[in-house]
């Protein structure tokens, strides 16, 4: 075995992943086969291109063009290929077993792109299960559950400039403003077929203009890997290698990514390596026994979710997942993966009662196998694809989520700051009179700001399941709700950390989100909602323009409180700084309905302060309180500083001044 060469399996040099003018040409048939090396490296968990061998691939044998099928099913007594090409007859096409690790294979001449198929697996104890292909590149549109052969007719990438620029970036020191979006419910058009869904191509043409108008840097797409149940929003996956057929085929999805990149918008996908559903055609008990999941139900099942947990101790399962992350990056040029439910993977007792879980060898609740999986995953993916991101949705205080593996970290690029999100939402829901008693909810995040590389999120999870939309979380009458929301977004967009906002919240959607309908675009016919959208766009424009708001995130150098202790007035003032010392920002946020006619704020230095934003401007839906556009610092000590500036502070106002 020592003579085997990894180079035959995966190329990790930078040149291999740098994308020049890349064209996926119509496939020229070459013989596809499973070699001894393929089996060995898959068994070791390091065959990072295994998706080019398992699944369904155009091939040629003895001069005949067809499709080579291969599936890993080590417990099976036999495996038969069934499909529309053989009348779904389980006796028609028996597959050949490769004994080393239990891969089954067959070459079928004459099979065309679009053909539907499954594997009929004879269980070791008798009986049969019909399974979709875990490595299928395409799937039958729900409610159908078959896999489909996909052979590209050719696709040309035009994003070489984007990829080249991406490779040079460290996103910790770049602006990152993410629009979280569910494609099927962002916008729909009334047509009798396809439930009004926009295709990937139609969506691309519409979303680009909107994201540019709103000044987002990235879009995060929910529910792209194939899933059967709309109500899961894509978080219960059955086709990890298949862009969902709801909106088109894999080349249509490539078009979407390419279009976004051409317009300087990055693409992040939600990725779900934590669990998978029990659907009969999916991964659960794949070959008649536990294969992708832990065999012990105390490790292999989520009682609350009714789903299966991947077996991170099994080399082939880790390989399946790590190769899948690479697949999205390499084959679809994805810029980042937001990894769902990380906490559920790290803790053996997550969501479980006593007796429902098994301690590790040290007697505690850490899943040691999942920890090693993350270190391996993040090292490989970020090592191969420079400038991409691995983002952890991790809801606990697990240490070193974004530290390097060699420092005993998990190796993620960023962590969602769930603690900030919960404190922020709890505070904003309060009647302003009671905010003074909860003042430090809004300052607490800065006490641990440097512990991780954080993204501040107001995600879909906060606007479903009776949690209300962001608009209806706000207290007060209608006008006060808008003013509160302007203050909330102003605080978020100027606080330390990258940003994510779920679709519809940028124009103050009033209803909770539902995957069954488009977001409430009709609200933009009302001036208040249209002005809120303009306000968020202006905040994002300011965010992108000023390095002070992103260059030194998650460091003590980039943020300084001016006054974090004004509990009685529910005021917060602070400074955002950058490495040049120029174009710094002084910010104050008023979370009460009281206008402060004689407000004074301490400042770091003498000089001229130029107004950047007044959230009470009438163009944003405010009352039009006048704030000086130029304000000269005076030698009046205030807030512990030698100099200060004075101005009228609007109720629920956000005021931003630039200074050098």
pLDDT > 60? residue 149:
yes
Among 6-15, 283-292, 316-325, 620-629, whose mean pLDDT is lowest?
Answer: 6-15
Residue 252 lies in a domain: yes
Sign of the four-CA dihedral 524, 260, 417, 589: negative
Residue 161 lies in a domain: no
Is residue 369 domain-shared with residue 449, that is, in the same domain?
yes
Is residue 213 domain-shared with residue 357, that is, in the same domain?
yes
Is residue 314 domain-shared with residue 436, that is, in the same domain?
yes
pLDDT > 80? residue 530:
yes
CATH code where residue 502 lies: 3.20.20.80
Active site residues: 340, 393
Residue 185 lies in a domain: yes
Name the domain boundary from 499, 516, 549.
Answer: 549
Name the domain boundary from 528, 549, 570.
Answer: 549
Is residue 575 domain-shared with residue 431, that is, in the same domain?
no
Residue 388 lies in a domain: yes
pLDDT > 80? residue 347:
yes
pLDDT > 70? residue 451:
yes
Is residue 448 domain-shared with residue 323, that is, in the same domain?
yes
Residue 351 lies in a domain: yes
Q: What angle do CA 611, 615, 617 make, to 5 degrees?
A: 85
What tens digit of pLDDT does each residue of 586-619 get?
A: 999 999 999 999 999 999 999 999 999 999 999 9
Phi, psi of 373 (to 5 degrees): -60, -45
Structural domains counted in the chain? 3
Task: Provide the pLDDT for residue 299.
Answer: 96
99 falls in which pLDDT band (50, 70, 90)?
A: confident
Is residue 273 domain-shared with residue 385, that is, in the same domain?
yes
Is residue 133 domain-shared with residue 193, that is, in the same domain?
no
Report whether 507 contacts 531 (CB < 8 A).
no
CATH code where residue 580 lies: 2.60.40.1180
Is residue 271 domain-shared with residue 407, that is, in the same domain?
yes
Is residue 253 domain-shared with residue 317, that is, in the same domain?
yes
CA end-to-end span of the chain: 63
Average pLDDT, the chain: 95
Is residue 542 domain-shared with residue 621, that is, in the same domain?
no
Residue 168 lies in a domain: no
Task: Provide the pLDDT for residue 5.
Answer: 37
80 falls in which pLDDT band (50, 70, 90)?
A: very high
CATH code where residue 31 lies: 2.60.40.10
What tens digit of pLDDT does each residue of 168-203 get?
A: 999 999 999 999 999 999 999 877 666 789 999 999
The better pLDDT of the pair 38, 12 is held by 38
| pLDDT, average across residues 442-468 | 96
Q: Where are the beta strands (DSSP E) in 167-217?
A: 177-182
Task: Provide the pLDDT for residue 195.
Answer: 78
Task: Provide the pLDDT for residue 269.
Answer: 98
Q: Where are the beta strands (DSSP E) in 213-319?
A: 218-222, 225-226, 239-243, 266-271, 275-276, 301-302, 307-309
Residue 544 lies in a domain: yes
Is residue 334 domain-shared with residue 354, that is, in the same domain?
yes
Tell me the residue range of the domain where 565 lies. 559-659
pLDDT > 80? residue 491:
yes
Is residue 538 domain-shared with residue 581, that is, in the same domain?
no
What tens digit of pLDDT does each residue of 14-42 get?
A: 434 444 566 766 667 799 999 999 999 99
Residue 425 lies in a domain: yes
| pLDDT, average across residues 488-493 | 98
């Amino acid at each position: 075995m020592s003579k085997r060469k990894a180079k035959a399996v995966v190329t990790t040099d930078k040149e291999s992943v740098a994308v020049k003018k890349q064209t996926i040409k119509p496939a020229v048939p070459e013989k596809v086969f499973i070699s001894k090396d393929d089996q060995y490296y898959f068994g070791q968990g390091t065959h990072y291109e295994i998706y080019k061998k398992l699944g369904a691939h155009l091939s040629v044998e003895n001069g005949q063009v067809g499709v080579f099928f291969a599936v890993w099913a080590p417990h099976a007594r036999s495996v038969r290929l069934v499909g529309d090409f053989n009348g779904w007859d389980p006796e028609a096409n028996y597959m050949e077993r490769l004994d080393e690790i239990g891969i089954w294979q067959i070459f079928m001449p004459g099979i065309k792109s679009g053909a539907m198929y499954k594997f009929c697996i004879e269980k070791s104890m008798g009986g049969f299960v019909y399974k979709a292909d875990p490595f299928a590149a395409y799937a039958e549109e729900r409610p159908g559950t078959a896999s489909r052969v996909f052979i590209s007719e050719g696709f040309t990438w035009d994003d070489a400039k984007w990829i080249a620029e991406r490779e040079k970036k460290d996103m910790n020191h770049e602006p990152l403003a993410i629009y979280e979006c569910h494609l099927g419910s962002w916008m729909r058009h009334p047509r009798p077929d396809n439930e009004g869904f926009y295709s990937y191509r139609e969506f691309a043409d519409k979303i680009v203009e909107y994201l540019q108008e709103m000044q987002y840097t990235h879009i995060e797409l929910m529910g792209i890997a194939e899933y059967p149940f709309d109500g899961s929003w894509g978080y219960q996956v059955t086709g990890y290698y298949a862009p969902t057929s709801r909106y088109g085929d894999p080349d249509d999805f490539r078009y979407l990514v390419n279009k976004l990149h051409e317009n300087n918008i990055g693409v992040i996908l939600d990725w779900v390596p934590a669990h998978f559903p029990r659907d009969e055609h999916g991964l659960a008990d794949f070959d008649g026994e536990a294969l992708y999941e832990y065999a012990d139900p105390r490790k292999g099942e989520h009682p609350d979710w009714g789903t299966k947990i991947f077996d991170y101790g099994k080399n082939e399962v880790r390989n399946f997942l790590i190769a899948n992350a690479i697949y999205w990056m390499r084959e679809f040029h994805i810029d980042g993966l937001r990894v769902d439910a990380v906490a559920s993977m790290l803790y053996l007792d997550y969501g479980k009662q006593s007796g429902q879980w098994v301690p590790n060898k040290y007697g505690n609740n850490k899943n040691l196998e999942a920890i090693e999986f993350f270190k391996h995953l993040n090292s490989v993916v970020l090592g191969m694809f420079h400038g991409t991101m691995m983002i952890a949705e991790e809801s606990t205080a697990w240490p070193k989520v974004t530290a390097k593996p060699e420092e005993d970290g998990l190796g993620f690029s960023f962590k969602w700051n769930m603690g900030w999100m919960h404190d922020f939402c709890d505070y904003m829901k309060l009647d302003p009179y009671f905010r003074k008693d909860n003042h430090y909810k809004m300052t607490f995040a800065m006490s641990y700001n440097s512990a991780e590389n954080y993204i501040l999120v107001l995600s879909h999870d906060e606007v479903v399941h009776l949690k209300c939309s962001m608009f209806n979380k706000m207290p007060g009458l209608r006008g006060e709700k808008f003013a509160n929301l302007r203050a909330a977004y102003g605080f978020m967009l100027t606080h330390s950390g990258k940003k994510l906002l779920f679709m519809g919240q940028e124009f103050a959607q009033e209803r909770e989100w539902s995957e069954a309908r488009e977001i409430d675009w009709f609200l933009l016919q009302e001036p208040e909602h249209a002005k809120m959208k303009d306000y968020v766009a202006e905040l994002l424009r300011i965010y992108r323009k000023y390095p002070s708001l992103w260059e030194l995130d998650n460091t003590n150098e980039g943020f300084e409180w001016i006054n974090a202790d004004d509990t009685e007035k529910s005021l917060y003032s602070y400074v955002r700084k950058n490495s040049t010392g120029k174009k710094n920002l002084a910010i104050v946020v008023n979370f009460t309905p009281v206008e402060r006619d004689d407000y004074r704020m301490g400042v770091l230095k003498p000089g001229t302060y130029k107004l950047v934003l007044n959230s009470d401007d009438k163009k944003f839906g405010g009352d039009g309180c006048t704030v000086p556009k130029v304000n000269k610092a005076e030698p009046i000590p205030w807030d512990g500083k030698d100099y200060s500036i004075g101005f009228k502070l609007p109720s629920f106002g956000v005021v931003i001044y630039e200074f050098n």
